[in-house]
Amino acid sequence: MPGKPGPPIITLLTDFGGKDHFAGVMKGVIASIAPAARVIDITHEVEPYAIAGARFLLSQSWPYFPKKTIHVAIVDPGVGSSRRPILVQAHGQLFVGPDNGLFSDLLGTPRAKARLISNRKLMLAEVSGTFHGRDVFAPVAAWLALGVAASHVGPPIQDAIATPGQWVRSSAGRWIGEVVHVDRFGNLITNIPVEFALECGGFIVGIASREFRGMAASYSALAPHTPAVVAGSSGFLEIAVNQDSAARLLDLGVGARVELSKE
């Protein structure tokens, strides 16, 4: 039986890291406006400027949060330029951040709506050209947590940037993709869904000059020090090594080409 509704939730996903004050200041802004809001850090360790990486991490995170959660996602190399700040309404949740393709997966879903963030009353009094996380996105998220309607944030827009996914099916039984994320453990996470491999029955995964056959269900099922394919919790194929880094051993990273084909 569901419990009583808790405090509003605001999540933060950025490339700000932990060395500087940026993430902490955003939390201070939120606390000043909406002190009862619960702030959850998804991560602040997105690779700098890696919009595609942030998009992947956001896609892996939001489905596990309750309805009405407010997600602030910021990887923003265009801050201070003509790029727009936007609010996206999708899946019963709210997403705040720059209009640079980060929210592409959400914008392609049924009933998704995008709004330009234009109401200056919801921002800090002075908006810098370099820190919209503090001056625009954090305060807007806080006001939304207080119950301000999305319609008060700004007008609807129909042309929010939505870039297509990276994987392509080049022919029957053959897919070309790439590594989209390297996690803390050095696992090479691809954008080829596990379900494609399952459809093949027997298959070969090729990356660089290596070929792998079969797919393990867990990291512990892998032979030590031997790269292999794993069905990742993300729902995508991973190249992994039991208790070691596949990225280091194979000298590969984000962008490496991956091919899945039937045997």
Q: What are 209-263's pLDDT values in tens digits? A: 999 999 999 999 998 889 999 999 999 999 999 999 999 999 999 999 999 999 8
What pLDDT is attached to residue 119? Answer: 98
3-state secondary structure the chain: CCCCCCCCEEEEEECCCCCCCHHHHHHHHHHHHCCCCEEEEEECCCCCCCHHHHHHHHHCCHHHCCCCCEEEEECCCCCCCCCCEEEEEECCEEEEEECCCCCHHHHCCCCCEEEECCCHHHCCCCCCCCCHHHHHHHHHHHHHHCCCCHHHCCCEECCCCCCCCCCEEEECCEEEEEEEEECCCCCEEEEEEHHHHHHHCCEEEEECCEEEECCECCHHHCCECCCEEEECCCCEEEEEEECECHHHHHCCCCCCEEEEEEC
As a whole-number percent, the residues of the chain with pLDDT over 70 amount to 97
As a whole-number percent, the residues of the chain with pLDDT over 90 amount to 89
Compute the average pLDDT of residues 188-198.
93
- Do 88 and 106 contact (CB within 8 A), yes or no? yes
What domains does the chain contain, in order, with CATH numbers? 9-157 (3.40.50.10790), 168-262 (2.40.30.90)
- β-partners of residue 230 are 216, 238
Tens of pLDDT, residues 145-178: 999 999 999 999 999 999 877 666 677 778 999 9
**How far is CA 35 from its chain centroid?**
26
